[in-house]
Every structure is written in structure tokens, then in C-alpha cells.
Chain A
Amino acid sequence: MVTLKIDGQKVTVRKLSTILDAVRKLDIPIPTLCHHPELSPFGGCRLCLVEINGSPKPVASCTTFARNGMDVTTTSPRLEKLRKTTLELILSDHPKDCMVCERAGDCKLQELAYFYGIRENRFGGEQRVYEKKDNNPFIARDMEKCILCGQCVRICDEIQGVGAIDFAYRGLRTKICPPFENDLNCEFCGQCVAVCPTGALTGKMWDQKGRQNFKEVDTVCPYCGCGCNITLHIWRNEVRRVSSKEETLNEGWLCAKGRFGYGFIHSPDRLKKPLIRTAPKDISAFPIHQTNPPLPPFTKGGRGGIHPSSFSLHPLSSFKEVSWDEAFDYIANRLKQIKENYGPDAIGGLSSARCTSEENYLFQKFFRAVIGTNNIDHCARY
């Protein structure tokens, strides 16, 4: 353990903690743009500078180990001046389009510019101009807004283990990009989007779908069994964005499906009315190809399974919409009839690993207690 003094307060931290860790432990506010607790120290933004008594130059607290007996000052006119200059410099090469920026209100740079009251900037000069040309479907990359904090590069390499992006070029034109500036072609986990402090990386499907005043609902991802905690951002009865908080079992990390795969919720294909079959089954059921009959033309993605039929778009061709009462009565009558004629064990129920536990409980209870059979299973085996 190491004990040091920060702004006059004593604090004890584990060995090999940085000064920033100690500062954070005391909950002293200190601005950072490139620091992330789960990533290797970077020391790029230079905002977390502190003074150590006895050393002439300020040091970056994120890349300096705390040592016994250190006397650290986190704020002084000199430090604030240096920090303000850093911010001015960053802003001198940053598009001033906060009013239309996806991140407005959730942008660390904007926040710091506000706190440091940077209305005017002493520095003008060249700004980077980049074409927005990445055609990947998930992640919008606006590199003019990139402040080179490197969190995306580190998270992709260190957490995701992919390394899809890195720094390229030098000087002011230093830029983060995929190899040869190709379109991003990765796992699209969006971890980089989650850690980006500015509007440089955002979700493409977020565009003009709202920024603030979302209702946030914490829930669990509907895909695999990891059980990642997600937060749905709701605007007018619509899921507009998915994020995850850092203090969850998945530490805020998600995969492409969890982060970007929410579009199905509001798909026009959703079933909206109970449907009862009108056409006989043999005619309506889709053709399955055996080896003999000639196959229809090869469409992209193959053939021989079920053909992209018109069913999913026009289910009404073989069904009619009915009221819930009609549907319930119909089902109850048919099931009762079958139970009467063949016994309860002629009826089976397949439950769903996608439904809630409560629904599964009710479903098996319905089959066991109401229908009277143990013919109940779900797809645990597939």
C-alpha cells in the first residue's frame, strides 16, 4: 500500500496505482479525455496533469505511479491555464457543429469546453478535412471530430482482441483508421463507439433518432445466454438506441447483436393480430425442394431451403385476422375436442427459451394443470 497526500488530503492506495487512481478514490474532479480504467494508460490528452511538490514540471497523473509521501496538487492557476490551453488547442481543430452532432449533451469535450468557458479561442489555423466514406452499416466514423484519445484503438486491441483500427499518418494529420483506410470490417461490437468521448464514432442507426430526453429502461439482452445488461433508450414508444452501463456484469461491453440488433422490435413484419387459417394447409404450405424437381433460379444466398416466399409480407393470403376472443374460443374448442378424442397426451407444447421465466412457468403449468400432459419441452437441445 502507498500513502500520499492529494490537495492536502491523505489517501492510501494499492501499490502500482497511478496518481489518477488515488485522485479518483478521493472523488476529486480532474478532467480526462483519454483515460479508461479498463485500458492501458495512454497519456495522450494531457488534461490530467498534476503538480508534485518538489518536481519542477507537472506530470500526467494517469501515467505516474503514486509513491509514498508524494504531495500532489490537482488544481492551481498554472494547471488550470495549461488545461485550458489544451482544450483550446483541441477545439481549434474540432468542427463546431454541436447543434447537429449526435453526441451533443453526451460529449466529454463539449462538457469540458463548457466548464472551462471556452467561448473564444486564441488559436485558429488549419483544421483537418476528411471525407466521410466508411460504408459499413453500423458505425459512423467522423474523423474530423476525433481527438486522438486512442480509446477505440486500445479497446479494439486490448478488450476485443481484434485490432481493426490503429493510428496512421503523423503530425496534425494523424488519424485513426482501418488498414489502408478501407471501410471498417470487423466484429462491429461497437465497443469503440461506447468509449468514444466525442462525436467521432456513433451508431449509424442513431442518426437523427434523438439524442437527449430519452426514457432509459434497464433490461437484459434478448440474444444469447450471457445475459448482458442493456439499457434501452426510448423515445415515443420506440427503442432508438441500446447501450450498456459499465457497472454491469458485462462491464458495458456488448456484441453487434446486442448493441445494434434492436431493429426487429419495430419491424413492419411484426405480427399484430391473431390470425386463423382460411386456406387448406397443403396448398399454402411452402414447397420444400427434394432432389428431383428442377430447382428455381439461384438467388443470392442459395436455394433448397425455404424460398423467400411472400408469406412473411402477406400472411393474410392464407389467413384471416380475427379478434382475440375469436382466436381463444377457436383454440380452446379445438384443443378440448382433441383432448376428448385422443386424450391429453395427444397434445404437446413447445415453450420458448426467448420468453421470460414467468411465461415459461405459466406455459408449463397450463400444459400440466390445464391440458393435463407432461408433453412440454423447449429448444434447449438446439
Chain B
Amino acid sequence: MFGSGAMTNSIPEIENHDIIFVIGSNTTETHPIIGLKMKKAVRRGAELIVADPRKIDLVRFSSVWLQQRPGTDVALLNSIMHVIVKEDLIDKKFIMERTEGFASFKESLLAYTPEEGERITGVSREDIIKAAFLYGNAVRPGIYYTMGITQHTHGTENVYAIANLALMTGNLGRESTGVNPLRGQNNVQGATDMGCIPDFYLGYQKVTMPGIRQKFEKAWGIHLSDTPGLTATEMTRAALEGKIKALYIMGENPVLSDPDMNHTIQALKKLDFLVVQDIFPTETAELADVILPAACFAEKDGTFTNTARMVQRVRKAVEPPGDAKEDSLIIVELAKRFGVDMTYDIIEDVFREAGNLWPALAGINYRRIAKNGLQWPCPTHDHPGTPYLFKGAFPRGKATFTAVQFRPSDELPDHEYPFLLSTGRHLFHYHTGSMTRRVDPINRVSPCAYIEIHPEDAQTLNVREGDAVRVSSRRGTIEIMVLVSGRPAKGVVFIPFHYREAAANVLTNTALDPISKIPELKACAVRIERVETSPK
């Protein structure tokens, strides 16, 4: 890849793309405002390529819709790239000056003819060629993806394939031109930036890299561990194996959000000690030994960093209820009990400390972002921030092509479990629903869980809209209401994971991408049966 996991462009640049390639992102529902910017671009003449197994709303605005079979993205992208090479739509100058490994990578595409692409993905060769021409000839194209790309056992390969596509056409490092993973949560970028990942300190500084640990030990005045930690999914497994004894969960709800709910619950039950710090008594909190009441976004000061690396001010508007405390105060208090002083006067001191340890934030302070945010990297106080990344160079010098081959998903439909289940969000609810399911009007428009089934499948299963079906995978069973819909392809079903009473993650597979450790939430095999009693 070519650097850190963030959007290379900024949100206002979206409207100036001439081609937008959305793959594995139901943007208008998961990132509605970015969706609006895409529609604006289309209104201004841009053409939209949508690659999604479901007929998402953006398809209405697209010039071409590639309905690939779930989990076949690598084959789709490789065959698009095959056409781009064949038609000589590559950017030779960019490849020569800024990349390496093109020659061997080019070889790897040979097998992925449009015909082969069609065979694997189900997308017609004409559409593959059309998409290749659209993207290959674009002047200011942007690629957008989310979990539809990453939540696969071959998610890293998917991302590599996207990177290859952008690199071979030189579509990086310019205004309104780039690769943009859309982050799903308000501050997932900030949490990652700040080092809440096991292998990096803040600013993507590797825990194992010589010199880095020493820098942090010096700054924090304490000896630090040199072993990389476990990822969340690995922690769950380690808990089940008895290797992790205690977990401290701040503001997360893995029971609903993680794959294979039964597995997660067993793991959490097995812990000696579980602390859950949250604003609501979540499903995870039910398994805790201690529950700590936290303040929500409106009750504290600080910053959120959006998916486009923009650091923006969060301001306290109201007091937290009861004895609830800001998370920062809780951590500082707890540290005191361990004899470590982490106190600060104002919360901006914490941000400043982070800026001292990561130059990309050094130029940002609360005064500068009082009205509008700034995008990192912003190394100095007179730096205007960086709307788009990789202008002129990549952080590692040259970017490398990584040849990737199509590999099927971990679990494919078979005789016993004939349907392919994909999970995700919809417009009205958010993530595990701990917030939105407590908002009355939202519950009124979106009260209950459903499974989207293609009309022909519904006919075969002899179910109608509103009927109940039993959905089972190798991991569990739920019963859920049917929504007959033209959105999924035949043989593919979709369940939003917001609903605890029919939790999609009872069914999902814990198989991980070996590199990113992201579970394969977008594809698992299920069986669907009609339930005789219809829901009241």
C-alpha cells in the first residue's frame, strides 16, 4: 500500500470528481452526507461506477452498476485492470517515477480477462470493459470503499487491488483524485490515529520499530512493553482460551458488533473480570463485573477526526446525567489508583501532548480549529492542513504494486446452507443501536429487524413480505421478518446488524483476514426456512 489508512482526499473535493468509483460502500445510507456530495458531483456531470452485490440507492445515479457476487472483488478489480493494461490506459510516467514492481504485477493480471471476470463475478464483460474505460480515461477520479471491501477474509487483498488500480492509472496525489476508505464511526479515524491499535503508538508509529518505544518511554517516563498486543478479535479468542483474564471495554458493544455472538458471549463470560464503561447498559454491559457511567459527546470537550482526517472540535453543551463522568476523567482517576499521574488542567493539554509525539498534529490547536477543522498532516502552526495526500511523493518513497489473486470467501453457500448472507447498516439506525434504538421517532420508522430476500428466492421459499423465517448458520439461529426486495441478487440475503432481538451476528463467521484481522462479516452461508407462526 502507500501509507496510512485514511481518505486521501477531503469531503469538499468529492463534488469535483469526474468519475466516482464506489465499491463495497452503501454510501448514501452509511455516510449520507458523503453520498450527497457524490450526487452533487453526478449533477455536475461526473459519472458514477457502483460495484455492489446489492442494488443500493446510489445505483440510481450510476452510469454502470457492477453487481459482483459477494467476495469476488479481487477478480472484478483485476479484470478491470486487465482491460486498462490492454487498452493502454495506464499512466506510464507515474508508474515509472513513483512506483515499483509494475512489471511483475502486470503479469499477474494476464489471466483476468473480462471473460474470466464475468465467470467469477457474474458481472457482464461489457460492463467490466465499460467501467475500465470510464475509470481509465478519467481525469479526476475517486475510489470510495468501506467494509464491503475490508470485512472479508481477503480484505487486505481487496484493498491492495484498489491501490493497484489507482497507482497504475496515476490517480493519486492530486486534488479530487485519490483512494478513499470511508470510516464508519465518528471518530474511528481519531481512535486509530491516537494509537488505540495493538501494533502502533499514535501516528502509526510501530511498537516494534527501534527507537520509537524509547521515544515514548522518554515522553511518558515509564518502561513500555515491546510485545505487540492482540487485536480485538484475537482478544476474544484469547479470552476463550483463558489467556486474557480481564477486559476493559470503553464505549463498545462487541456482543452485537462482533461476529458469532455466541462465541463472543462465551468468551466474555469466561473472563475473570470485565469492566464496561458506557453511556447505556448495553448487551455487553450485562456481562460486566463493573459498569461505569460515562458522558456522551454532548457532555464533553475534545476533538473528533472525521474520515477525511479532519480534526474538529467537540464541545460540551450539557452536564452528564447523575454521577456520569467524562471518560477522560475516569481514566485519569483510575491511573491515580495505580500511582500514575495522568492529570491535566484542560483537555487541550492532552491534545497538545499527542501533537508533541506525532508531528502530523503538531500544528493544530483548539484555537485554530475553533470554527473549521484542519486536516492532518499539519506539522506547523502556519500550515494550512492537507486536503489531499501524496502530492508529489509517498511517505515511503515509492509505492509498491502488490499482485493479488482471487481467493474465495472462507465460507461459501453449499447444499446445507444455500444462501450467502451479507450484513451491514441501514440509514436510520446506527451500529449496535444503543443510541438510535433509544430515539423514539427513529424506532417508529425502523422498528424491527428484517432480512432482505430476492423476490424469486422468496417465491422458492414460499414466503411473503412480513412472514417470519428461521435463518441458521453453522453458528446459530435467529428468526426474523422477511422483506422481499429487489436489492440483493438472487441467492444473496442481507440483514442489518442493529437489532439485538434478531442479531445478525449470531450467524456471522469469525474467520479473519490474516493481515488486518478483520472478520468476514460480509459473507457467510445460511439456511432459510419458513416459520409457520406469522409475527403478530
Q: Would A358 and B312 count as touching, CB distance under 8 A?
A: no
Find residues 467-487 in chain B having any chain A CB closer than 8 Å to their own CB.
468, 470, 472, 476-481
A170-212 interface bits toward B, Cβ cutoff 8 Å, 1 = contact, 0 = none:
0000000000000000011100000000000000110000000
Q: Would B516 and A381 count as touching, CB distance under 8 A?
A: yes
Q: Would A270 and B477 count as touching, CB distance under 8 A?
A: no
Q: Which residues of A contact B288 (CB under 8 A)?
A: 277
A95–chain B nearest beta-carbon distance, Å? 25
Residue in A226, A265, A345 whose beta carbon sits within 8 Å of that of B296 in the complex: A265
Q: Would A303 and B501 count as touching, CB distance under 8 A?
A: yes
B337 to chain A: closest residue by CB = A332
Q: Would B312 and A305 count as touching, CB distance under 8 A?
A: no
Find residues 1-19 in chain A having any chain B CB closer than 8 Å to their own CB.
none
A-B contacts, 8 of them at CB < 8 A, read: A159-B36, A215-B317, A220-B304, A267-B438, A272-B322, A288-B476, A300-B535, A366-B334
B267-296 interface bits toward A, Cβ cutoff 8 Å, 1 = contact, 0 = none:
001001101001111010111111111101
Q: Would B468 and A302 count as touching, CB distance under 8 A?
A: yes
CA distance A290 to B262 in the complex (A): 9
CA distance A254 to B281 in the complex (A): 28
Q: Would B185 and A354 count as touching, CB distance under 8 A?
A: yes
Instruction: Evaluate whether A381 and B248 lie within 8 angstroms (CB atoms) in the complex, with A269-B280, A350-B232, A369-B224 already known.
Output: no
A323-343 interface bits toward B, Cβ cutoff 8 Å, 1 = contact, 0 = none:
010011111101110100110
Instruction: Evaluate whether A350 and B187 lie within 8 angstroms (CB atoms) in the complex, with A369-B222, A375-B235 already known.
Output: no
B499 to chain A: closest residue by CB = A301
Residue in A271, A291, A305 whose beta carbon sits within 8 Å of that of B324 in the complex: A271
Besides the known contacts A227-B186, A350-B249, A368-B195, 17 further A-B residue pairs in the complex with CB atoms under 8 A apart:
A159-B39, A219-B314, A222-B297, A267-B438, A269-B281, A272-B321, A302-B480, A304-B503, A324-B325, A345-B229, A348-B230, A350-B232, A352-B252, A352-B327, A354-B185, A368-B201, A374-B227
Q: Would B187 and A305 count as touching, CB distance under 8 A?
A: no
CB of A129 closer than 8 Å to a CB of B:
no
Q: Which residues of A contact B31 (CB under 8 A)?
A: 224-226
B39–chain A nearest beta-carbon distance, Å? 5
Instruction: Evaluate whether A348 and B244 lie within 8 angstroms (CB atoms) in the complex, with A256-B428, A302-B502 already known.
Output: yes
Q: Would B36 and A160 count as touching, CB distance under 8 A?
A: yes
CB of A285 closer than 8 Å to a CB of B:
yes
CA distance A351 to B343 in the complex (A): 19
Q: Would A375 and B280 count as touching, CB distance under 8 A?
A: no
CA distance A250 to B39 in the complex (A): 13
Q: Would B252 and A350 count as touching, CB distance under 8 A?
A: yes
Find residues 2-40 in chain B having any chain A CB closer than 8 Å to their own CB.
11-12, 30-34, 36, 39-40
Count the A residues whose beta carbon is within 8 Å of the partner chain — how many? Answer: 136
CB of B214 closer than 8 Å to a CB of A:
no
Q: Would A306 and B323 count as touching, CB distance under 8 A?
A: no
Q: Which stretch from A48-56, A58-66, A311-319 is at the chain B interface? A: A311-319
CA distance A254 to B335 in the complex (A): 39
CA distance A221 to B340 in the complex (A): 33
Residue in A273, A353, A375 whose beta carbon sits within 8 Å of that of B230 in the complex: A375
Instruction: Evaluate whether A225 and B307 lie within 8 angstroms (CB atoms) in the complex, with A290-B262, A378-B252 already known.
Output: yes
B446 to chain A: closest residue by CB = A256
Q: Would A362 and B479 count as touching, CB distance under 8 A?
A: no
Q: Would A274 and B255 count as touching, CB distance under 8 A?
A: no
B317 to chain A: closest residue by CB = A217
Q: Would B252 and A332 count as touching, CB distance under 8 A?
A: no
Q: Which residues of B contact A68 (CB under 8 A)?
A: none
B327 to chain A: closest residue by CB = A359
Q: What 9 A-B pairs come out closest when comparing CB atoms?
A: A227-B306, A272-B322, A302-B502, A352-B251, A301-B448, A356-B302, A374-B229, A304-B478, A305-B503
CA distance A215 to B317 in the complex (A): 8
Find residues 435-493 in chain B having any chain A CB closer than 8 Å to their own CB.
435-436, 438-442, 444-445, 447-449, 468, 470, 472, 476-481
Instruction: Evaluate whether A348 and B247 lie within 8 angstroms (CB atoms) in the complex, with A234-B317, A334-B273, A355-B327 already known.
Output: yes
B256–chain A nearest beta-carbon distance, Å? 8
A202–chain B nearest beta-carbon distance, Å? 13
Q: Would B373 and A357 count as touching, CB distance under 8 A?
A: no
Q: Which residues of B contact A73 (CB under 8 A)?
A: none
A284 to chain B: closest residue by CB = B286
Instruction: Evaluate whether A263 and B438 lie within 8 angstroms (CB atoms) in the complex, with A161-B60, A374-B198, A379-B188 already known.
Output: yes
CB of B521 closer than 8 Å to a CB of A:
yes
B352 to chain A: closest residue by CB = A358
Q: Would A274 and B292 count as touching, CB distance under 8 A?
A: yes
Q: Would B321 and A270 count as touching, CB distance under 8 A?
A: yes
Q: Which residues of B contact A347 (CB under 8 A)?
A: 244-248
CB of B197 closer than 8 Å to a CB of A:
yes
CA distance A248 to B36 in the complex (A): 14
Q: Would B195 and A349 count as touching, CB distance under 8 A?
A: no
Q: Would B187 and A226 count as touching, CB distance under 8 A?
A: no
Q: Would A364 and B317 count as touching, CB distance under 8 A?
A: no
Find residues 268-307 in chain A having any chain B CB closer than 8 Å to their own CB.
269-277, 281-282, 284-286, 288-291, 295, 297-307
CB of B101 closer than 8 Å to a CB of A:
no
Q: Would B233 and A356 count as touching, CB distance under 8 A?
A: no
Q: Which residues of B contact A160 (CB under 8 A)?
A: 36, 39
Q: Which residues of B contact A217 (CB under 8 A)?
A: 298, 315-317
